[in-house]
Amino acid sequence: MATAITQPDAQPIERENYLNKHYGVWSWLLTTDHKRIALLYLMSITFFFFIGGFFALLIRLELLTPTGDLVQADTYNKLFTQHGQVMVFFFLIPSIPAVLGNFLVPMMVGAKDLAFPRINLLSWYLYIIGGIMMLHCMLTGGVDTGWTFYVPFSTAFSNTKVIEAGLAIFVVGFSSILTGLNFIVTIHRMRAPGMTWGRLPLFIWAHYATSVIQILGTPVIAITLVLVVAERALHLGIFDPKLGGDPLLFQHLFWFYSHPAVYIMILPSMGVVTEIIACFSRKRIFGYHFVALSSIAIAVFGFLVWAHHMFVAGISIYAALVFSILSYAVAVPSAVKVFNWTATLYKGSIHYDAPMLYAFGFLGLFTIGGLTGLFLACLGVDMHVHDTYFVIAHFHYIMVGGAVMGYLGGMHFWWPKISGKLYPEGWARLAALIVFIGFNLTFFPQFLLGYMGMPRRYFQYPAEFQVLNVLSTAGATVLGVGYLLPMIYFLWSMRYGKPAPDNPWNAAGLEWKTASPPPTFNFDEEPVVTWEAYNYDELDSEHKQEVPVVG
Amino acid sequence: MSDSTVAVQGETHNPALLHHFATEEQQRNASSFGMWIFLGTEVMFFGGLFCAYLIYRGWYFGDFAAASKSINAALGGTNTAVLICSSLTVVLAIWAAQTSRRALMLAMLVLTMLFGLAFLGIKGIEYRDKFVEHHVPGPSFSFEHEEIPSHPGEYANPRHAEIFFALYFIMTGLHALHMVVGLGIFSWLLWAAWKGRFTPEYHTPLEIGGLYWHFVDIVWIYLFPLLYLIDRHR
Amino acid sequence: MAEHTASEHPKSPLTTYFSVWIALLFGTGLTYYAAKLDLGVFNAAVALIIATTKALLVALFFMHLKGAHEKLLKLVVISTIFFLFILLVLSMVDYGTRTWS
């Protein structure tokens, strides 16, 4: 067994952990260990992230000039469609839940594994099957309907591979449902003794809320895609106005899932940020119960607002009024979170480590994204900016500035636990800075472009928009570098990084009370919880002698 | 109980207790809770279809009624009864497992599957009728000169009737697909029951499979009046 | 409540099962014949009430929702139905008011 260890500067005795317990491809492909499945997901979603990023790069390159010189309209339509589909369904939705959530949920509640380990593995295989279908679809012609599959274009007119893309997303949707189901059962049924609901980390509350959306929202898009596929294949008339159908019905069903899906992306990220802010300001979270319940409130309100995507599509103005008011309501629980994070930071002893830099980035960018969302919820303003780059900028501030920032922050925060190695802190801070600058340079100009009236989804534009578009493309390049850096130094650290102590951040939470990397069943003995979450005051007074606080 | 894994488990006697659960009760509760949540996703899955149905039934009531009238309600009613009987045999099978009546359990499982097959057979007859009458949506669809029940002398719009039939085939088709999956699950349960896996203490798979079967029954309980019995009194 | 259901266990549930079964068959017949009566706008309502009653019977007695030791399962059912209603009702807010103006 010892001969299989490939480390050059191997420590004398390596503790047995989930990484070195078994070797070989099959020990990974047939594993039911939630931590290994998390790593399988990590590799898969990273792969799709770079595919989606590649499409984004091509889009930005094309938009460098006002005319279509890199690609023409047909190709451009496929580029933005597949950028959206890959990023939404194959990266953002699984990102934090399937990687960090998979890894951490059982550990944070003090369980040996998720409730249904084999279903967890099945969920990864469904993801892979969906992913292969999507790749096949892209390589054999692609699809050009926009990620939204709007009918009747997708069912009656587009001559691209709508059916295959629809089925790929159908399959990957079930992977998401199974993840959510596993989390809910685990959080309800597998908590360690003493781990009451009021002691759960807010990461868990966030994942609970996310899972509710996954299990109740995802089936609706699944059936919607079934209808689209059936209509396209058999020429039914359910969505076709020519045959008596209503295209708006498609939009209702589609957004019933796809609006809450935004909260599938952002809620876990909020959970990550909560953990990071508490740890690096060494304080209890201000208003624990409000933050916990605001996650649930976001999940519920998220289902009440979907038609704000359809204000100009021809829905009844009375319905538009109702949905506009309801959309404002979502801002309340989101604001509760932002204010509570800010209050937690107040008079905290703040450490500017890389995860915290990402959390700060999240705070600012999410606030901008959220507030511009209110502009869009406002009927009058939406008429003006609907389907412009203003919308693009808004949701990228939420999904990239919010969700991806949180994802990267979480990856840095828990990397020592996941890999057992420390990443290079200097590089990580630099990368956080580059991502923040690159992001704002990419997307802030798009607010201006949108407000000036540049519509989304066109491969060419009037020459007066060029300066801002060049800025945006330049930003995208910087952002790309910012995303490549962590991948490089994470990989580097797996081989050359310093071994991580069990609790490098002196953080609260059960996951830090076990080894880094953890043993296969997470804890050597079943933990019993007798403390509240985020007891940093107690932790710091305990450790005052051992770990001097570095200024 | 003849599994070789018994020895590995040490003090716990049940080979079906998985390593990450502390007690059998925890495992059982987790399983049934998981199944209920899954059924929740199924409700939403069919919910999208019910939403579509509701809208078009409101818009095209007369056409829907005419189309609904062309389906054989007697066959649909029989199928409802068949499914209800199968639900009874499922609970009886579980009860037999709880009270160590092996022969009864096996008989009830077989009976459940026979009812399931009967349902699919009757469904097949119904589909064949629709096929013969050119009521299957698609190029050869035809629904000309069919009277609207509430407005004698007026003909239903074939396009709108086609939407009804599209929904009819998708809804009953997905339901039938769930029946097929259910038959698969019950084949496995029958095999496991034959092998003697289920005892009064441990029969969680039977309960989980039963939950699924009952749910499929409930879906049909709604599908029957909604699809077969629109405006039947004229 | 929990103790009550626990003490109920030894009693044979067969009577319940068969009565529910009879009730469900009766309900099926009732649906069929109620559809033949002219109840005006209430035909659909009657059909849905009967169907919901039947569904409740199946859920409560066959799926053992009634004797469930935990309220959790009821919570799952209620919240699922709640979200289904959100889908249907909020869609109808659009479809019901489109012709107002």
Which pLDDT tens digit goes with each residue over A476-529?
999 999 999 999 999 999 999 999 999 999 999 999 999 999 999 999 988 999
**Rounded-to-10 torsion of CA A525, A529, A533, A534:** -60
- Average model confidence (pLDDT) across chain C: 86
Subunit contact B37:A237, Cβ cutoff 8 A: no
Restricting to A residues 255-274, those with a Cβ less than 8 Å away from any Cβ of C are 256
pLDDT of res. C67: 74
Mean pLDDT of B213-222: 97
Interval A16-67: pLDDT, tens? 899 988 889 999 999 999 999 999 999 999 999 999 999 999 999 999 999 9
Interval B169-187: pLDDT, tens? 999 999 999 999 999 999 9
Mean pLDDT of A375-393: 95
C-alpha C42/C-alpha B222 separation (Å) is 16
Mean pLDDT of A527-550: 79
Mean pLDDT of A395-411: 96
The answer to whether A536 and A284 have CB atoms below 8 angstroms apart is yes
B55: exposed, middle or buried (C-beta count within 10 Å: 0-12, 13-18, 19+)?
buried
- Average model confidence (pLDDT) across chain A: 93
Asked, for residue A26, whether it belongs to a domain, the answer is no
Reported in sequence order, the residue ranges of B9-53 that DSSP labels E, i.e. its strands, are: none
Subunit contact C62:B90, Cβ cutoff 8 A: yes
pLDDT of res. A278: 97
Q: Which of A177, A181, A220 sits opposite B47 (nearest CB)?
A: A220
C-alpha A174/C-alpha A128 separation (Å) is 12
In the numeric block, the tokens 């636990």 are attached to A417
Q: Is the pLDDT of residue A368 over 50?
A: yes
Where do the domains of chain B lie, and which CATH numbers do they carry? 45-228 (1.20.120.80)
- Average model confidence (pLDDT) across chain B: 91
Asked, for residue A22, whether it belongs to a domain, the answer is no
Query: Within A386-530, where are the H helices?
Result: 389-396, 405-419, 425-452, 466-496
Subunit contact B233:C35, Cβ cutoff 8 A: yes
More confident call, A520 vs C41: A520
CATH no. for residue A307? 1.20.210.10
Subunit contact B81:C79, Cβ cutoff 8 A: no
pLDDT of res. A111: 95
What type of residue sits at position A366?
A: F
- Which residue of chain B comes nearest to C85, CA vs CA? B47
pLDDT of res. C101: 64
Q: Is the pLDDT of residue B112 over 90?
A: yes
> How close, in Å, is residue C17 to chain B by CA atoms?
7
The structural domain count of chain A equals 1
Mean pLDDT of B118-123: 98
Indicate the DSSP class of residue A12. Answer: S
Q: Is the pLDDT of residue A1 over 70?
A: no
Extract the tokens encoding A232.
Answer: 């396209």
pLDDT of res. C7: 42
Interval A281-296: pLDDT, tens? 999 999 999 999 999 9
Q: Is the pLDDT of residue B2 over 60?
A: no
Q: Is the pLDDT of residue C10 over 70?
A: no
Q: Is the pLDDT of residue B5 over 50?
A: no
Interval C51-82: pLDDT, tens? 999 999 999 999 998 876 678 899 999 999 99
pLDDT band for position A426 (50/70/90)?
A: very high
Given CA atoms A423, A428, A432, A438 in this order, what sign does their dihedral have? negative
Q: Is the pLDDT of residue A190 over 70?
A: yes
Mean pLDDT of A537-542: 86
pLDDT of res. C3: 40
Q: Is the pLDDT of residue A113 over 50?
A: yes
Chain A residues inside the 8 Å CB shell of B157: 244
Bridge partners of residue B39, in order along the sequence? none
- Which residue of chain B comes nearest to A106, CA vs CA? B20
> How close, in Å, is residue C29 to chain A by CA atoms?
31
The pLDDT > 90 percentage for chain B reads 79
Task: Give all chains having 3 or more CB-to-CB distances under 8 Å with chain C.
Answer: A, B
Asked, for residue A5, whether it belongs to a domain, the answer is no
Give the other-Cβ count within 10 Å of A314's Cβ. 13
List the domain boundaries for chain C: 2-69, 70-101
C-alpha C32/C-alpha B73 separation (Å) is 8
Query: Residue A145 to residues A43, A93, A138, A461, A477: CA-CA distances in angstroms?
Result: 28, 20, 13, 20, 26
DSSP A278-318: HHHTTSPPTTHHHHHHHHHHHHHHGGG-GGGG-TTTT--HH
Q: Is the pLDDT of residue A535 over 50?
A: yes
The pLDDT > 70 percentage for chain A reads 96
Q: Which domain holds residue A497?
A: 32-542
Asked, for residue A478, whether it belongs to a domain, the answer is yes
Interval A441-451: pLDDT, tens? 999 999 999 99
> How close, in Å, is residue C64 to chain A by CA atoms?
19
The answer to whether A162 and A154 have CB atoms below 8 angstroms apart is yes
Q: What is the ipTM of this complex?
A: 0.92
Query: Residue B48 to residues A162, A221, B44, C86: CA-CA distances in angstroms?
Result: 20, 8, 6, 11
